[in-house]
């Protein structure tokens, strides 16, 4: 997305210094500043990506062919990139990190059976559709260690008949708790 801070890939010392100054300035007088990491997926601005990516080729409004389905290797790379960015967040002195898994962003799209029509290990059952989120959480936790706060934002429901449901969210919340999540933010919509 344009006009957002990015920590994608190796950071120069100047970039790390600027992020550290941002963290320090935002935590004056005991405030906390958590960084939310997100990937817009199929909602990517054409200014950033002319062909957005997602779990399947289903674009906004259900248009098929409007999105490039991620390969298995690209999914693994995405997980690694989230973990790397989480490590940068910790290194620069922020209070915590949150993975944005709601509102139709990439992680949310994987959870939504109306958008995720994959038949491999990343699609089908809720366990498979949640794999991107759970594997990303595990990689982020490994990158930041056990004592740095990690949060996830997920939908309570997509509010779409046949989409990610409240029952799905309840099951997912249990898995997130088992994975050692520190904070769960529940939102809604797609």
- Active-site residue list: 105
Crossing angle of the two packed helices 131-144 and 72-91, in degrees rounded to 10: 30
DSSP annotation string for 29-57 = GG---EEEE---GGG--TTT-SS-EESSS
Radius of gyration for the alpha carbons in the chain, expressed in angstroms and rounded? 16
Query: Of 188, 137, 132, which Cα lies nearest the Cα of 158?
Result: 188
Residue 176: CB atoms within 10 Å: 23
């Amino acid at each position: 997305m344009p006009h957002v801070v990015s920590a994608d890939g190796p950071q120069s010392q100047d970039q790390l210094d600027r992020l550290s100054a941002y963290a320090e300035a935002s935590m004056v007088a005991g405030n906390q500043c958590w960084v939310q990491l997100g990937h817009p997926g199929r909602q990517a601005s054409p200014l950033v990506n002319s062909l957005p990516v997602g779990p399947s080729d289903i674009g906004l409004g259900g248009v098929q062919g409007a999105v490039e389905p991620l390969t298995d290797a690209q999914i693994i790379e995405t997980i690694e990139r989230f973990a790397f960015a989480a490590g940068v967040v910790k290194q620069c002195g922020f209070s915590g990190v949150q993975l944005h898994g709601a509102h139709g962003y990439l992680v949310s799209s994987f959870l939504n059976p109306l958008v995720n029509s994959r038949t491999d290990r990343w699609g089908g059952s809720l366990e498979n559709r949640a794999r991107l989120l759970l594997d990303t959480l595990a990689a982020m936790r490994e990158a930041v260690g056990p004592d740095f706060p990690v949060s996830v934002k997920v939908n309570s429901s997509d509010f779409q008949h046949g989409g990610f449901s409240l029952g799905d969210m309840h099951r997912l919340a249990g898995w997130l708790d088992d994975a050692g999540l520190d904070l769960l933010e529940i939102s809604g919509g797609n």
